[in-house]
């Protein structure tokens, strides 16, 4: 029995098109959504950790970020603690190194001969540089030396541990002598001082400015 012209008709669906038995068709594309691709918007963060967002077609969802934020805060605290510990370790190592240098210099002071103090090691053909006295010092100190008269010129150069020259003093008197050094241009630190004779380095010692 042919149902054409009545409301009782067979229907068939091809893609998004609904076909009627009598030849009519309806495009359902406007009513169908065959994908999960939907637009998100209206991101709102409230109460410090609750993220709310709206989804296309009136839907919405809320996500509690508190567990994630807690993990991030814990990691940040741990990182800051590690950085603080590393800084303290570096500072302690620097202080220890400075103390070691100061102890070595004090030991050198106790052993080095001083001019005019019963020293029998000086030789008339060899230049010598003596440990400064006092050492450490906070005002002035004296550096003794011996340069044979057969040499032409001599200098005492004072520099920082990094190599920056602080003083370059030409010795006007050869033979046995001493120069006085003040700390007007020297901050509290450990310094090196070197005796040069005719352009050749003879010896280097260390002094402490307190």
Tell me, what's the pLDDT at 144? 93
Q: Is residue 200 part of a domain?
A: yes
* Within-domain flag for 191: yes
SS3 content of the chain, % helix, strand, coil (to 5): 25, 40, 35
What is the domain-level CATH number for residue 132?
2.60.40.1930
Residue 197 lies in a domain: yes
Question: What size, in residues, is the chain?
Answer: 210
C-alpha span between 177 and 104 (Å, rounded): 25
> What pLDDT, on a 0 to 100 scale, did the predictor assign at position 6?
53
pLDDT in tens, 40-66: 566 566 666 666 666 666 666 676 767
Q: Identify whether 136 is preceded by a cis peptide bond (ω within 30 of 0).
A: yes
Rounded distance, CA 178 to CA 154, Å?
12
**149 domain-assigned:** yes
Overall domain count for the chain? 1
Which range marks the domain in which residue 172 is found?
128-209
Residues of the chain under the 50 pLDDT cut: 1, 3, 109-120
**Residue 175 domain-assigned?**
yes
With respect to residue 176, please indicate whether it lies within any of the assigned structural domains.
yes
- For residue range 85-96, list pLDDT tens digits in order: 777 887 777 767
* Residue 205 falls inside a structural domain: yes
Answer for the pair 193, 156: CB distance below 8 angstroms, yes or no. yes
The two three-digit tokens of residue 81, written as one number: 């603690």
Is the residue at 190 inside a domain? yes
Q: State residue 83's pLDDT score.
A: 79
Region of 70 please: left (phi>0), alpha (psi -120 to 50) or beta. alpha
> What is the spatial distance between Cα 139 and Cα 143, in angstroms, rounded to a whole number?
14
User: Which tokens hold the place of 95?
Assistant: 């202080």
């Amino acid at each position: 029995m042919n149902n054409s012209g009545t409301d009782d008709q067979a229907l068939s669906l091809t893609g998004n098109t609904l076909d009627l038995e009598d030849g009519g068709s309806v495009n359902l594309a406007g009513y169908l959504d065959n994908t999960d691709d939907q637009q998100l918007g209206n991101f709102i963060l409230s109460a410090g950790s609750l993220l709310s967002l709206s989804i296309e077609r009136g839907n919405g969802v809320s996500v509690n970020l508190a567990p994630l934020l807690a993990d991030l805060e814990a990691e940040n605290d741990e990182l800051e603690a590690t950085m603080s510990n590393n800084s303290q370790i570096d500072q302690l190592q620097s202080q220890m190194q400075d103390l070691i240098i100061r102890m070595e210099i004090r030991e050198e002071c106790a052993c080095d001969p001083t001019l005019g103090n019963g020293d029998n090691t000086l030789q008339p053909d060899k230049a010598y540089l003596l440990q400064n006295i006092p050492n450490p010092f906070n005002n002035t100190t004296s550096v003794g030396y011996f340069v044979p008269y057969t040499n032409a010129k001599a200098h005492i150069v004072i520099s920082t541990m990094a190599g920056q020259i602080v003083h370059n003093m030409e010795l006007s008197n050869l033979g046995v002598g001493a120069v006085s050094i003040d700390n007007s241009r020297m901050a509290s630190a450990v310094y090196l001082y070197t005796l040069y004779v005719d352009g050749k380095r003879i010896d280097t010692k260390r002094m402490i400015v307190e």
